[in-house]
Amino acid sequence: MKKHTIVVCDHIHEAGLEMLRNDENINFIMAADEDKTKLLEIIETADVAITRSSTDVDEKFIAHAKNMKAIVRAGVGVDNVDIEGCSKEGIIVMNVPTANTIAAVELTMAHMLSCMRMFPYSHNHLKLERVWKREKWYGYELKGKKLGVIGFGNIGSRVAKRAKSFEMDIVAYDPYIHPSTVTDCDMVYAKNFEDILACDIITIHTPKNKETINIIGEAEIAKMKDGVVLINCARGGLYNEEALYNGLKSKKIRFAGIDVFNKEPAVNNPLLDLDNITVSPHLGANTFESQYNIGTQAARNAIEAAKGIAYPHAMNLPIDESKIPVYVKPFLEMGQKIGFLASQINKSQIIAIKVSGQGDISNYVESLSTFVAVGAMSQSSDDTINYVNAEFVAKQKGIKIEWEALGESSVFKNLITVKLTTGEGTTSMSATIFDDGVKRIVAIDGFDIEVALKGDMILFKNSDVPGVIGSIGSTLAKNNVNIADFSLARNNESQALAVILVDDAVNESTLAQLASLDACLSVHYARL
C-alpha cells in the first residue's frame, strides 16, 4: 500500500506524534521547528498537514500544497486558515472542536467566579501586599443571577449546565440551533439578542467570523444593566475592546474576565491597566488533558484523511451545516467510513454505489451519498478523492451513484444502508448511531449483527457447523493475535458470519490460515 505523507507544521503533544510514527502506512515529517520558507518546500509533497496558530494557511501556503488532500487545524479556531482558498483547490479543512472543550468550560467558570468574588485581587492583597482586610472584599453570589450565553455549542452548552448547578437562571442565544436544545435543559431560548443584554452576566462562545466580530460594542453595552459582568474565553475581537475598556472604566461594566485579545501577546493592552478585570494569556486549551486530546485527535484525523477513511469535523463540507440538525454530521462521517469498509471487503472495480436512508436521516441521503462515495473510491483510485470532486471522479470512472429515501425503520430511529457493487458482486452494510454516540454496524449482507465501526476487523463467513469459533480462536492465538470483540450472526441458509475486532494488524499468513479452515466460505480483513 502506498505510504501517505503527513507533515506536522506546529508542535502537538508527543502522544499524537507517536501515533503518526507508529503507523506503517504513514510517512511522517516533523517540521514544527523549520522556518516558514523551508516549510513551504516540505509541504509540496504532503497529503495532509497538521497546523496550529503559528502557521498561516494562506494563499502562499495553498499554492505550495500541490498534493494536499486535507489540513487539520489542531484546535478549535480556524482564523488563520483560508477556508475558501482551500475549497477552490479541493483541500478539506478540519479542526478538532471538542478536544479542549472541558478546559475552556472550566476556565470560563474560573473567570466567572473570579469576577464575582474578585478573587485575584483579594489574593494579591494578602499574598503580595500582606494586608488582611476582609471588609474590602465583598463579592456577589452566582445563585439567582441571570447568565446570558451567546453560542450554545460544545462549550457554551456545558458552561450553561455548570452554571445551572450554581442555581443560576440561564438565557441562551444561538440562531443556529433548535430552541428545544436549550429548553429541554430547563433554560430560556432567546430569539431576540436584546434578551441577552438584560442579563447580570454575559459569556460568549462563538467562532470568530464576520457575523460575530464586535458582536458586543458601544451600542450593546449601553443597553446592558449597570454593573453587568462580561466573560470572553472564546476568541479575541468578539467584544469590541475599545467599548469594553470604556464600559469598564465608567463602571457600567462592573467586572470582566478576559482570556483572549485582538492582538496577542497582549502585554501592552490598555485593558491591563484597569482594576476591575481578570485576565489570562489565552489559556483556554492549556491543560495537560486537553493538549493530549488535541494532539491525539489531530493525528487520528490526519491519518483518516490521508487514507481517505474519513474527514472528521470538516469545515468546508458539501452541505450548509447551519441548515442541518446537529445529529446529521456524525451520520455523514459514518457513511464515509462504511463506504471505506465496504471497499476493503469487496476489492474490485466499483460499478455502482447505492445509499439508502431510513428515519429523519433520509432527508439528507443525497449529501450522505457523497460521503459514502468518497470513502468507497479512496481505496481504488490514484486521484485525490474528496467532497468537492467525488461526483466528477465517479462520472469519469463510470461509477453510478444512487440514493433513496425510505420510510421509517421498524427498529432504529435512523438507519443508513450502503450497497457497493463491483465486478465481484454486491456488499451491503447497514449502520446507525445509538444514544451513546457510538457508530455501529447492524447488518452485513443479510446478517443481523452489531459491531462498533472501528479498529482492525476480520469478517469470517462460514458454514454453520460446530467447532468453528474454537478453530478461529486457536488460529488467531497461534499467530499472537488478540481478540478485542467477537460478534456472531446466522442466516436461514445454514451460514454464519463472525466479525472479529483485534488489537493489532493481521498479516496475510494469518488470513490464509483462517481461509484454509474447513468451514470457511470467505474471510476479509479491514482496517479503520
**Which of 282, 300, 313, 440 is labelled catalytic?**
282
CA-CA distance, 221 to 470, in Å (whole number)? 72
**Which of 41, 141, 218, 264 is labelled catalytic?**
264
CA-CA distance, 74 to 95, in Å (whole number)? 6
Four-point Cα dihedral 23, 90, 294, 60, nearest 10: 100
How many CA atoms within 13 Å lie on the side-chain side of 515?
Answer: 10
**Nearest Cα to Cα of residue 339 among 309, 365, 314:** 309
37: Cβ contacts below 8 Å, ≥ 6 apart: none
210: Cβ contacts below 8 Å, ≥ 6 apart: none
Helix (H, G, I), strand (E, B) or coil at 181: helix
Burial of residue 365 (number of CB atoms within 10 Å: 0-12, 13-18, 19+)? buried
Beta bridge partners of residue 501, listed in sequence order: 457, 485
Four-point Cα dihedral 70, 76, 82, 84, nearest 10: 80
**Which of 13, 235, 300, 313 is labelled catalytic?**
235
Secondary element (H or E) of residue 331: helix 328-345
C-alpha cell recorded at residue 247: 464600559
Tell me the residue length of the chain.
528
For the question of residue 490 being annotated catalytic, the response is: no
CA-CA distance, 366 to 357, in Å (whole number)? 9
- Per DSSP bridges, beta strands 495-502 and 456-463 are antiparallel
CA distances from 167 to 375, 399, 452, 455 (A): 47, 58, 39, 43
For the question of residue 235 being annotated catalytic, the response is: yes
Number of H helices, E strands in the chain: 17, 22
CA-CA distance, 354 to 420, in Å (whole number)? 7
Catalytic residues: 235, 264, 282
